Structure 1
Amino acid sequence: MSYRTALSEILTSVVAPAAELTGVRGRFPRTAVTALGRAGLLGLTVSTAHGGGGRGLPEAADVVARTARVCPATAAVLQSHYAAVAVIEAYGGSWVRTEIAAGRHLSSLALAETEVLGEDDLLAPHSSAVRSGGVVALRARKHRVVAAGEADSYVWSSRPLTALDGLTLWGVPAHAPDLFVPARPGGAGPSGSGTSTVFADPVLVPADAMLGADGTGVDIVRRTVLPWLRELRAAGSTGVQAPQVVGVTAARPAASLAPS
C-alpha cells in the first residue's frame, strides 16, 4: 500500500471524525497520531535500513498538506515531528530511529526560547548545559513546543558545553525527570496541537544524547531544521487553504501552524 493510500484511509476513518473535537475542545489528536504511526507515516522519512519509508521532504510536505485540509492540529504535530526526525535521522542513534520507523515514537522540536518565533531565535539559545561525568544538566524554558507533554522526545538546543560559540543539540526523552509542561497548554499553535512551554530546571540527560558535535548546532539548524520547517509550514498553509479531500470533511483552519 502506498503512503498516499494509507494516508487517505486514515484521514477518512480516523482524523476527520475527530477533527472538530480536536479543534473546538483542544484535545490532542492521540488516536490520529497512533494510526499514522501504525501506517508507517510517522516513520515515512526514516531510512529503509531502520524499517522506515525511506522518503524525503517532498513526501513529508505532501502528508502535511493533505492532513492540514482535514485537521490543522494534526498537521502541526506532523510538521514538528518530521523536522525533528530530519535531525534524528542524521545524528540520532539506531534505537530511536527504529522506534520512529515502527510508529512507536513521536518527536518534536524544542528550540524557541522566546514567545515571538523567528529564525534568529532558533540560532541563539540562552539555555545552559553543564556536564558532570557522563551526565549533562540542561536548564531552559522552551516556548511554542508542539505536542508538549505528548511527544516521546524533543530535539532540544542549548549553549555549547565547551565550544566558544554556536549551539548544541540534544535528544531529550519526554519521560526524563524534571521536565514540566503546564496543565493548561498555552501557545500560538492550532487548538489541539498541544503547543505549550516546556520547563527544565534542570533535566538530566546522558552525554551521548548529544546530536552532532558540541557547538555545531547552528549549522544543523540552518541546513536541516529551517529548510524542513519552511517547506512544511508552506505545505500546511497551502493545505488549509486548498479544497478539502474528496470524501473527507475539513475542520476549520486555525490561526497558525508554526511549530517551535
Structure 2
Amino acid sequence: MSYRTALAHVLTGAVASGGEPARMHGRFPRSGVTALGRAGLLGLTIAPELGGGGRGLAEAADVVARVAHVCPAAATVLRSHYAAVAVVEVCGGAWVRAEIAAGRHLCSLALEEDGPETTARRAGEVVTLQGRKRHVVAAGEADSYLWSSGPAGAGVGPGGRSLWLVPAHAPDLYVPARAAGPGPSGSATSTVCADPVRVPASARLGEDGGGERLVRDLVLPWLAELAAVTDRTDQEPVLVAS
C-alpha cells in the first residue's frame, strides 16, 4: 500500500473527526495522530529495515499538506515530528527509530529557550538538563522531545550546542500550563520545563557541541519546507486520494 493510500484511509476518518474539536475546543487530535501512526505515517521517513517507509522530505511535505486541509493541528504536530525525526534517523538508536516506524512514538521539537540557555551537566553516565523551552508543539502529548542545551563537556568551544532525545515521562519534566502558543488551536503548543531532568549520556544525539550543525543542516530545512506547504494549503487544492 502506498503512503497516499494509507493516508486516504485515515484522513476522512479519524483525522477529520479530530479537526473540529481541535479548532473549536482546543483539544489535541489524539485519535488522528494515533491513526496516522497505525497507518505508518509517523514512521514515513524511517529506514525500511526498521519497519519505516523509507521516504524523504518531499513525501513528508505531501502528507503535511494533505493533513493541513483537514486538521491544521495534526499537520502542525506532524511538522514538528518529522523535523525532529530527521535528526533521530541520522543520530538515534535503533530501538527508538523502530518505535517511531511502528507508530508508537511521537517526537517534538524543544529548541526555543524561554529564558537562559538550558544547561547540561555530566556526572559519569548521567546528564542533568535544566531550562525552559517555549513554543513546544504537542507539549505534554509527545513521547519525546528533541531538546537543545549548552554542551555538557568542558572542552567544547563557545557557541556550541548539544541535542538530546528527552523522554516525556522523565521525572521533573513538566508542562506548567497549557498556555496559548503560536500554533493552531489543538496543537498543544506550550512551554515545557526541565527542573532539572536527568537523562543518560547516551540520550545525546550527535557530538557534544555539534547540535548547531544538526539544527542548521536538518531541522531548519525540514521546518522551512513543511511550513511552506502548510502556508500554501489555503491557495492550492490538495486531493485526499490519488
Q: TM-score range by the shorter chain?
A: over 0.9
Instruction: State TM-score, norm by structure 2.
Output: 0.95
The alignment status of 1:216 with 2:207, answered yes or no, reads: no
For 1:164, the equivalent position in structure 2 comes to 157
Alpha-carbon distance between aligned partners in 1 of 2:164 and 2:127, rounded to the nearest angstrom: 10
For 2:120, the equivalent position in structure 1 comes to 129
SS in 1 for 2:131: strand
SS in 2 for 1:191: coil
For 1:173, the equivalent position in structure 2 comes to 167
For 1:251, the equivalent position in structure 2 comes to none
Which amino acid is the alignment partner of residue 28 of structure 1? Answer: F
CA contact (8 A) 2:68 2:74 kept: yes
CA contact (8 A) 1:153 1:171 kept: yes
For 2:131, the equivalent position in structure 1 comes to 140
For 1:22, the equivalent position in structure 2 comes to 22
User: How big is the shift at 1:133?
Assistant: 1.4
For 1:61, the equivalent position in structure 2 comes to 61
CA contact (8 A) 1:72 1:240 kept: no
Percent of pairs with identical residues: 65
Provide the aligned C-alpha RMSD in A.
1.5
Relative to structure 1, the CA distance from residue 29 to residue 36 in structure 2 (aligned partners, 3 Å threshold; closer, same or farther) is same
Which amino acid is the alignment partner of residue 226 of structure 1? Answer: L
User: How big is the shift at 1:164?
Assistant: 2.0
CA contact (8 A) 1:69 1:241 kept: no
For 1:232, the equivalent position in structure 2 comes to 226
Which amino acid is the alignment partner of residue 209 of structure 1? Answer: A
Alpha-carbon distance between aligned partners in 2 of 1:21 and 1:110, rounded to the nearest angstrom: 25
Counterparts in 2 of 1:41-60, with a 5 A limit? 41-60=41-60
CA contact (8 A) 2:18 2:30 kept: no
CA contact (8 A) 2:178 2:188 kept: no
CA contact (8 A) 2:178 2:189 kept: no
Alpha-carbon distance between aligned partners in 1 of 2:36 and 2:240, rounded to the nearest angstrom: 19
CA contact (8 A) 1:64 1:239 kept: no
Which amino acid is the alignment partner of residue 164 of structure 1? Answer: G
Which amino acid is the alignment partner of residue 92 of structure 1? Answer: G
Matched positions, count = 238
Which amino acid is the alignment partner of residue 203 of structure 1? Answer: V
Instruction: State TM-score, norm by structure 1.
Output: 0.88
CA contact (8 A) 2:15 2:32 kept: yes
User: How big is the shift at 1:244?
Assistant: 6.0
Unaligned runs of 5+ in 1: 116-124, 248-260
